[in-house]
Amino acid sequence: MTDKFARLTIDGSDNTIDLPILSGNLGPDVIDVRSLGSSGCFTYDPGFLSTASCESKITFIDGGKGILLHRGYPIEQLADQSDYLETCYLLLNGELPNEQEKAEFENTITQHTMVNEAMARLFRGFHHDAHPMSMMCGAVGALSAFYHDSLDISNPEHRKTSAHRLIAKIPTLAAMCYKHHIGQPFMYPRNELSYSENFLHMMFGTPCDEPNVNPIIARAMDKIFLLHADHEQNASTSTVRLAGSSGANPFACIASGITALWGPAHGGANEAVLKMLDEIGSVDNIDEYVLKAKDKNDPFRLMGFGHRVYKNFDPRAKVMKETCAEVLNELGINDPQLAIAQRLEQIALEDEYFIERKLYPNVDFYSGIIMKAIGIPTDMFTVIFATGRTVGWIAHWNEMVSESYKIGRPRQLYTGYEARDYQTMDKR
């Protein structure tokens, strides 16, 4: 309960409504408007600019200060000292695992990495030049057709098994998207490899060879997964929660998250960044593109810049930038796109337009260059984002379903026709 209220006076009536103000542990207070509907008014907030859609204990972002915490732990510390699977355990369970818990969790995930063999037939039905994200949307949704034994969402054990299955099988499906695309045989997972090594083996290995994964690349891959693991109530996570609020099964909910992630304003930005750097082509053309980005009549935006929540810097971008430099250095790659990216970042950070609007490089700005160095093709970038983010989606879905929740059902400000009579064909 609270003793703080916001008093709302509705114009043209004597009616005042006291709305409770709720405080979280960190971040702004929220005005609880749930009782407002009974007074005949709704709040109006398209794009959720000022709306907290749920209560959560998983991830905290302070966009002004550039802070990102998972279960209280700063992302920089996790990127530096943890690994992706340990971070998955943390997001799902709320605490870091001890040695035994970590080993058990890694073993469980490893045991679940294979997918039903019929999934290979499903993939063969896709056209070879299908975008990998289109295959991912279909393949992840299809998992619910195979794993009926863990679909009772009211059963915590079923939810746990589904969570493990999703985290384990998504990299297998992601690699299948790529193999189908390039016409190579699907690779089975190998239990002796770590999560990221296994993914790289399934992507780049062939049945003719034993696994041979470069440890530098595996470390970079792991960091990319970790940096994408969760980001509180973004568009795709909110989509997963909304789908889950109807009681839909977890595989269907994660498939809905993947579809929401695909757009260039969200996870599709990493692919769009590389296309943009390609289009810019040379450092000499940057000024022209910066002018285009600032022109209100030109739809062009600098991809990889700006964020709804971060108005200082994106802490993930800082780590990603360092990882990018490390990877290119260790692999001895001199990528001309990196020079364009660095110059673009510098110009944008000094330009009044970007400063005024607090537009800083986001996580997607550097991740594409690392993935390119690793050998991952551009149209797989968003699939990689989806792979890393699966744990965040499932942690949020599980948090919601574990407690009492209502179906998500927003209302609207209707601006269409008032009631009118049906017109027969001869009168139209």
Q: Which residues are catalytic?
A: 266, 307, 364
Site for ligand CMC in 75-104 (CB under 6 A): none
Binding piece for ligand CMC, criterion CB under 6 A, among 130-138, 295-303, 331-339, 399-407: 295-303
Give the residue, chosen from 160, 190, 301, 343, that forms a contact with ligand CMC under the rule CB under 6 A: 301
Of the residues 131, 169, 180, 231, which one makes contact with ligand CMC according to CB under 6 A: 231
CB of 334 to ligand CMC, least distance (A): 25
Return the residue matching tokens 């020079």. 339
**Contact indicator for 229, 391 with CB cutoff of 8 Å:** yes
Q: Taking CA 103 as the corner, what is the angle to CA 102 and CA 105, rounded to the nearest 5 degrees?
A: 65
Tell me how many degrees the CA angle 161-248-132 measures, rounded to the nearest 5: 75
Question: Given the complex with ligand CMC, which of 147 and 385 has the nearer CB atom?
Answer: 385
Q: Kindly state the smallest distance separating residue 156's Cβ from ligand CMC, in Å.
A: 29
Based on the shown chain and the rule CB under 6 A, indicate whether residue 315 belongs to the binding site for ligand CMC.
Answer: no
Structure-block tokens of residue 258: 């993947």
Q: Which residues contact 345 (CB under 8 A, 6 or more apart)?
A: 361, 365
- The closest of 301, 365, 300, 378 to 338, measured between CA atoms, is 365
- The H or E element that residue 347 is part of is helix 336-350
| 388: contact with ligand CMC by CB under 6 A | no
* Start-to-end Cα distance in the chain: 57
Residue 357 makes contact with ligand CMC by CB under 6 A: yes
DSSP annotation of 32 reads -
Q: Does 302 bind ligand CMC (CB under 6 A)?
A: yes
Q: DSSP state, 379?
A: G
Cβ count within 10 A of residue 91: 23
The number of C-alpha atoms within 13 Å of 410 and in the hemisphere containing its C-beta is: 16
Residue 293 binds to ligand CMC (criterion: CB under 6 A)? yes
225 is an interface residue for ligand CMC by CB under 6 A: no
Kindly report the backbone phi and psi dihedral angles of residue 371, in degrees, each rounded to the nearest multiple of 5, phi listed first.
-65, -35
Residues contacting ligand CMC: total by CB under 6 A:
20
* DSSP state letters, 246-290: TT--HHHHHHHHHHHHTSTTTTTHHHHHHHHHHHH-SGGGHHHHH
Two tokens, residue 262: 């695909």
Q: Give the residue closest to ligand CMC by C-beta.
A: 306
Stretch that binds ligand CMC, among 176-184, 215-223, 237-245, 359-367 (CB under 6 A): 359-367
267 within 8 A of 389, measured Cβ to Cβ: yes
**Part of the chain binding ligand CMC (CB under 6 A), chosen from 28-36, 164-172, 182-190, 263-271:** 263-271
The reply on whether position 372 binds ligand CMC by CB under 6 A is no
Instruction: Kindly indicate which of the ranges 84-92, 207-215, 356-364, 387-395 contains the residues binding ligand CMC, using the contact rule CB under 6 A.
Output: 356-364
Which one among 136, 153, 175, 269 touches ligand CMC, defined by CB under 6 A? Answer: 269
**Judged by CB under 6 A, which of 265, 291, 339, 355 binds ligand CMC?**
265
β-strands 73-74, 59-62: how paired?
Answer: unpaired
Q: Quote the least distance from Cβ 177 to ligand CMC, whole Å.
A: 20
Stretch that binds ligand CMC, among 4-12, 143-151, 358-366, 397-405 (CB under 6 A): 358-366
Binding site for ligand CMC (CB under 6 A): 231, 234, 265-267, 269, 293, 301-308, 357, 359, 362-364
